[in-house]
Amino acid sequence: MGRKTQIAIVVSLVLVILGAGSVYAWDSAKKDEIAEGVTIGGVDVGGRTVDEAKALVEADLLEPLDRPLTVNYGDEHFTLEPDELDVRADVDGMVQAALAVSQEGGLPTRVWRYATGGLVEEEIEPSIAYSQGTLDDFIKGVEKNVNQPAIDASVEPTATSLDPVPGQNGYSVKVDALRADLEAAVQSPHSRSVKAKVDKVKPEVTTAELASQYPDYIVIDRASFELRHYENLELVKTYTIAVGAAGYDTPSGLYNIQNKQVNPAWNVPDSDWAGDLAGQVIPGGAANNPLIARWMGIADGAGIHGTNDIGSLGSAASHGCIRMDPTEVIELYDLVDVGDPVFIS
């Protein structure tokens, strides 16, 4: 090997050694620098030193988190203050995670990235801690204020009609969706407001189903001495009746048929008007039993029954019961059941 060749080899080795040293020096100079393209919770910390990244995260991520969280539903707004939520952040941990991804890939990969201006496209999730119990309580408060139970369709009885009252849909907060949105908002410096989403809750009884809920309905109009029988909310027949005389008024209100009897016995009230019969039990069918043919008990000892005093029908003549023609009370008895509603106006 000639002397010139030896010199060339030595020079080449020196250059390689010097180059390698420069590469290591370049890499070492960047060991405390976060790679371009790295973000923490949306904050661009690429090209920053650890200290610079900490300051930037504090300013751009944490300070905005020190604002209230708001849940909106229609015109209603529900606010959770940051001091109640006790928001805390591990800034050091987030920055160290950003630095760690910047050092991945080995020396050749890093040097190539330095030389070509390449990026490390990595999003570091913000490490934000908060009071889960406080968030749970806040969500429960939103539910309490937003949730609306469905209202079943119903009937509003009057002396002369049965008026349908439409059902109303209810609303129920989508709790899982609200929790996910709030947990994301807790860690977001940009969006501190979320919208509560709800599920529609349908009533168990809709307006269309209302008639089938009331196969039979009795309305007693004391003023006109009439009993109206409705089937599926349609008037079927009107009967002339007698009601309680003054001082023995038939009770008003919404009741239902409590019991039914054929040829009922009469448990005579222990009242002065009952005379010698007071407190006795008069068998069904007995001549001195005024409860003729059928009995449909309503409330407080009052009921619907047949009467032999046909002349009293169309007047206030009883001691509180509703009197009917015996033939008609038998007809009505066979049409209605225990539990059917009875409205007395």
Question: What pLDDT does residue 29 have?
Answer: 65
Write out pLDDT tens, residues 128-139: 788 999 999 999
Banded model confidence at residue 76, pLDDT cuts 50, 70, 90: very high
Q: Looking up tokens 């349609």, which residue turns up? A: 234
Question: What pLDDT does residue 170 have?
Answer: 97
Question: What pLDDT does residue 20 have?
Answer: 53
Q: For 284, how many CA atoms within 13 A lie in the half-sphere containing its CB?
A: 11
Instruction: From the candidates 190, 229, 319, 321, give the one annotated as an active-site residue.
Output: 321
Instruction: From the candidates 77, 229, 305, 319, give the one annotated as an active-site residue.
Output: 305
pLDDT at 6 > cutoff 60: no
- Phi, psi for residue 159 in degrees, rounded to 5: -60, -30
Write out pLDDT tens, residues 79-127: 999 889 888 888 899 899 988 988 887 787 777 777 787 788 889 887 7
Say which CATH number the domain at 291 has.
Answer: 2.40.440.10
Identify whether 77 is a catalytic site residue. Answer: no
Question: Is 88 part of any domain?
Answer: no
Banded model confidence at residue 300, pLDDT cuts 50, 70, 90: confident
The pLDDT of 264-289, averaged and rounded, is 81
Question: What pLDDT does residue 304 have?
Answer: 98
Question: Is 82 part of any domain?
Answer: no
Question: What pLDDT does residue 148 have?
Answer: 96
Helix (H, G, I), strand (E, B) or coil at 154: strand
Mean per-residue pLDDT of the chain: 88
Question: Is 311 part of any domain?
Answer: yes
pLDDT at 7 > cutoff 80: no
Structural domains in the chain (count): 2
Identify whether 319 is a catalytic site residue. Answer: no
Residue 267, domain extent:
214-344
The pLDDT of 181-188, averaged and rounded, is 87
Return the percentage of the chain with pLDDT > 90, whole number: 59
Question: Is 307 part of any domain?
Answer: yes
Question: Is 117 part of any domain?
Answer: no
The pLDDT of 307-323, averaged and rounded, is 96
Numbers of helices and strands, H then E, in the chain: 10, 25
Question: Is 243 part of any domain?
Answer: yes
pLDDT at 12 > cutoff 50: no
Write out pLDDT tens, residues 17-68: 445 566 667 666 677 789 999 998 888 999 899 999 999 888 887 777 778 9
Q: In 160-223, which residue ranges form alpha helices assigned H by DSSP?
A: 175-186, 210-213
* Tokens standing for residue 78: 């529900």
274 CB burial (10 A radius; 0-12, 13-18, 19+): middle
pLDDT at 280 > cutoff 60: yes
Question: Is 93 part of any domain?
Answer: no
Question: Is 265 part of any domain?
Answer: yes
The CA distance from 38 to 100, in Å, is: 11
Our CA angle for 246, 247, 249, nearest 5°, is 75
Compare 43 and 11 and report the one with higher pLDDT.
Answer: 43
The number of residues making up the chain comes to: 345
The CA distance from 219 to 115, in Å, is: 94
